[in-house]
Amino acid sequence: MKSRTDHQGLSALFPNELSDLISQEPLFRGRQLFTWLAGGTFKFEEMKNLPTALRRTLIDRYGETACTSKVVKQQTDTDGTVKLLLKLYDGLFVESVLLTDEEGRRTACLSSQVGCAMGCTFCRTAELGLERNLTASEIVEQFYHLTEIAGQPSHIVFMGMGEPLANIYETARSIEIFHFSEGLNISARRITLSTCGIPEGIRFLAESFSVPIRLAVSLTSADNDLRTSLMPINRKAPLPELHESLLYYQNIRKKRITLEYVLLDGVNDSETACRQLVQFAKGLECVVNVIPWNPGAGLPYNEPTRDSTERFCSCLEHAGLRVTRRYRRGRGISGACGQLAGSGTSPHHIQPVMQTNE
């Protein structure tokens, strides 16, 4: 197998950057290479309008394919959810998910890190700790792997493994590639970044990022002490600071924010918790997305009942908030919100088989 000289990959490079890599060639060759990659063709030998000598040069430099990751396991749930386990160039693993809603809309749920350092106590990914950030190419490749197996998604959410704002520059680069008009050309309104709440990252999106994507914040509790116990990031960025950064973002971007609220039975589903959430939402143009907790092996929580979920949502609606309810998809293959665990990220945990839950 050919050794790679650049683990950053090629799929997150723009045409001019690809031209720079093959500077001995005419400039239009970089655009041709970009077009092949943007169309999902990664094997250099299949890029027929590139000269044979250039294809051989690329193969010698990068191997048979420009793709730095590969699918080692695919699972399909009865609701149409597809989960992929990807092996990265260094032997680590990451998961990504394709969700299909009742209208047939396909959404790619992408990871931004191998593992996660945020330590949210209700999320299985947190048990892994953080191995490393993903490169922009590794993020983009998840989209192409999902496309090849299940058809091209129309929407993207950064809600997989990891905290996107803790890997902000690689995440931002991948979004720019997705949005690039000469490539996939995915509308900014169809891309959502979900964060546990890192104020400096939120300010970066407000001030410095050119693509006006949607922002979602995992809140889970509007009680400062309870949120700290559930989401340790709250020690560094307590609720008042988070609220201030969201107001700042909204004042600049003029876009509605989603407050994601993972509902835990007997923990954050009371009438008092509802009132605290209503208070936090004051001044924000927002929608609250209520997410009934999805079980994770060994985690010390219980699912909320249907009745308690409806009571909590009704409480919010009576207070004048707009509320959506997250439908539970992918649970049969541990592909739902908070269930991604990357098979421990260790190659010793992997059995490269295809599994279908049908």
Q: Taking the domains of the chain in order of start, what are their residue ranges?
A: 15-62, 70-356
Q: Tell me which of 17-26, 61-70, 97-106, 260-269 is least confident.
A: 97-106
Catalytic residue among 25, 67, 95, 196: 95
Encoded tokens for 170: 């690689």
Residues in Cβ contact with 278 at an 8 Å cutoff, skipping those fewer than 6 apart: 316, 319, 320, 321
- pLDDT single digits (tens) 283-297: 999 999 999 998 877
- pLDDT single digits (tens) 83-100: 999 999 999 999 999 999
Catalytic residue among 67, 196, 313, 337: 337
Percent of the chain clearing pLDDT 70 (strictly above): 89
Alpha-carbon distance of 303 to 293, in angstroms, equals 5
Percent of the chain clearing pLDDT 90 (strictly above): 82
Amino acid in position 222:
A
User: What's the fold here for domain 70-356?
Assistant: TIM Barrel (3.20.20)
Judged against a pLDDT cut of 60, whether residue 110 lies above it is answered with yes
Neighbours of 320 (CB within 10 A): 8
Alpha-carbon distance of 144 to 293, in angstroms, equals 29
End-to-end CA distance of the chain: 37
Query: Cβ(231)–Cβ(222) under 8 Å?
Result: no
Residues in Cβ contact with 9 at an 8 Å cutoff, skipping those fewer than 6 apart: 66, 67, 68, 135, 136, 137, 138, 140, 141
Query: Cβ(290)–Cβ(60) under 8 Å?
Result: no
Question: What pTM was estimated for this model as a whole?
Answer: 0.89
Encoded tokens for 121: 């106590």
**Known catalytic membership, residue 274:** no
DSSP-derived letter for residue 65 is B
**Known catalytic membership, residue 95:** yes
User: Does residue 141 sit in helix, strand or coil?
Assistant: helix
Neighbours of 247 (CB within 10 A): 13
